[in-house]
Amino acid sequence: MRRTGGLWRSTGRSFRQAHPPTLVVRTPRRAQLAATELRCDRTGFGKTSPIPPEDGFLVGLQLRDCFDHLLWVDGRPVPVDPFPAGTTLAL
């Protein structure tokens, strides 16, 4: 287990976090899996920067209630539901 460059780094920057806590592992076939904790504790955090496209999947687990938010995919707003704690999102 080690920290390496990659999607977690650009995702952290998108959420204004230079060094988010991250765990990176490789499977026996050299696939990479990373878990990154992103926090948005400030009221009025605002729009994040776009996350650069990558081959792979993004799965989010909402640890706290988030009822007032917007989601943009490919530069367009998409309909969203409130995210109560425990909600998962896959893109």
Instruction: Output the six-digit token pair for 37.
Output: 């904790």
Q: What is the DSSP letter of 50?
A: P
pLDDT tens-place string over residues 14-62: 777 777 888 888 889 888 888 888 877 777 677 777 777 777 777 888 8
Report phi then psi at 10, rounded to 5: -70, -35
Q: What is the DSSP letter of 30?
A: -
pTM of the model: 0.61
Q: What's the CA gap between 72 and 48, in Å, rounded?
A: 10
Are 62 and 86 in contact by the 8 Å Cβ rule? The answer is: yes
pLDDT tens-place string over residues 66-79: 888 888 888 889 99
